[in-house]
C-alpha cells in the first residue's frame, strides 16, 4: 500500500514540475534549472521497510535513511540551497532568471517532500513494531 502511495505522489510531483517548466515568468524566462545545476543528482530513496519489520530491519533502515539524508544534503549543496540563508538569497544570485530561481526552489521542495516521505514510512514501521511488542 505504501509503495502505491509513494508512486502516486512521485507521479503527481513529476507532473507538477513538468507543468512548471512550461510556465513563463514575468521576466520572460522559462522555469528550468540552469545548465550547471542539471547534473545535480537526486538520491534514490532507501528500499521500503518490510511490513512486519523486525528490530534488525529497523536498524538497517535507520542506517540507510541516515545515508539518504546525507546524500540529500549533497544534492541541496549542489543546487546551492543547503541553508535557509542561501534559499533566501536565491533571488539575488547573479546570473539566475526568475525561471531558474523557481526551478531551483521546486527541486528543493521536491527533495524535502521526498525526505519527509521516507521519514514518515520509517516512523510508521517503528510504530507497528512497537505495537507488536506491546501485545
- Structure confidence by residue, pLDDT tens digits, 26-36: 777 788 889 89
Taking phi first (over 0 means left), then psi (-120 to 50 degrees means alpha), and beta for anything else, what does residue 49 get? beta
Q: What is the mean pLDDT of the chain?
A: 86
Please give the angle made by the CA atoms of 79, 83 and 86, to the nearest 5 degrees: 65
Mean pLDDT of the region 93-113:
93
Residues with Cβ < 8 Å from 79, sequence gap 6 or more? Answer: 37, 40, 104, 107, 108
pTM value > 0.75: yes
pLDDT at 4 over 90: no
State how far the alpha carbon of 18 is from the alpha carbons of 31, 86, 108, 117, in Å.
9, 25, 15, 21
Cell numbers found for residue 24: 513563463
For 70-96, the pLDDT digits (tens) are: 999 999 999 999 999 999 998 888 889
What is the spatial distance between Cα 51 and Cα 21, in angstroms, rounded to a whole number?
Answer: 37
Cβ neighbourhood burial of 8 (10 Å; 0-12, 13-18, 19+): exposed
pLDDT at 128 over 50: yes
For 44-62, the pLDDT digits (tens) are: 999 999 989 999 999 999 9
Long-range contacts, 3-7 (Cβ 8 Å, 24+): 3/48, 6/45, 6/117, 6/121
Cell numbers found for residue 2: 505504501
Amino acid at each position: 500500500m505504501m509503495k502505491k502511495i509513494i508512486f502516486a505522489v512521485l507521479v503527481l510531483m513529476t507532473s507538477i514540475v513538468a507543468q512548471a517548466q512550461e510556465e513563463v515568468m514575468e521576466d520572460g524566462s522559462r522555469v528550468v534549472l540552469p545548465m550547471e545545476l542539471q547534473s545535480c543528482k537526486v538520491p534514490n530513496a532507501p528500499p521500503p521497510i518490510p511490513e512486519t519489520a523486525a528490530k534488525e530491519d529497523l536498524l538497517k533502515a535507520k542506517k540507510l535513511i541516515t545515508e539518504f539524508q546525507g546524500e540529500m544534503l549533497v544534492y541541496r549543496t549542489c543546487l546551492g540551497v543547503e541553508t535557509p540563508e542561501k534559499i533566501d538569497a536565491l533571488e539575488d544570485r547573479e546570473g539566475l532568471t526568475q525561471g531558474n530561481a523557481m526551478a531551483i526552489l521546486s527541486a528543493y521542495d521536491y527533495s524535502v517532500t521526498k525526505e519527509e516521505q521516507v521519514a514518515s514510512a520509517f516512523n510508521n514501521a517503528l510504530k507497528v513494531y512497537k505495537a507488536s511488542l506491546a501485545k
